[in-house]
Structure 1
Amino acid sequence: MADIADFANDLVQERIDQALAARKALPVFESFEFCVDCDSTIPMARRLAVTSCTRCAACQQLNEQVGTRYAR
């Protein structure tokens, strides 16, 4: 007989499966030519190395630093 923990586990797994399916359905777009934050040109080497990049390396580094500051 299933208990409440089994139902919760099934619900979590269903949500994970839905999230993964939704992520796979997103269109993959090419990298931007200009940074969304500072409008500088993103170098071709970065655009080829990092698929779908939207920021230059400096802005991406700053964005990650700010993000880790709030994640703690």
Structure 2
Amino acid sequence: MSRTITINRAPVLTLWAAVVAERLGFEWHEALTLGRAVAGLTAHSKGERLGLFEPTPEAIKDKRRLQHAKTAA
């Protein structure tokens, strides 16, 4: 008898990335934040591939880069 288990992969990816970051020397709260960022970016990327989100237009990306460069300088 075969049983199938379905899980949400976002929490698993978050935990995995957090453990990796912690082993690289980050504090747990920092590692967890990095894990959440990895899971969020992965989810958004998949959403774009599935057509659920539209990619950000290049004009907006360029404007953000310029604004970031001004604040960093």
Q: TM-score, normalised by structure 2?
A: 0.41
- Rg comparison, structure with higher value: 1
Flag the structure with higher helix content: 2
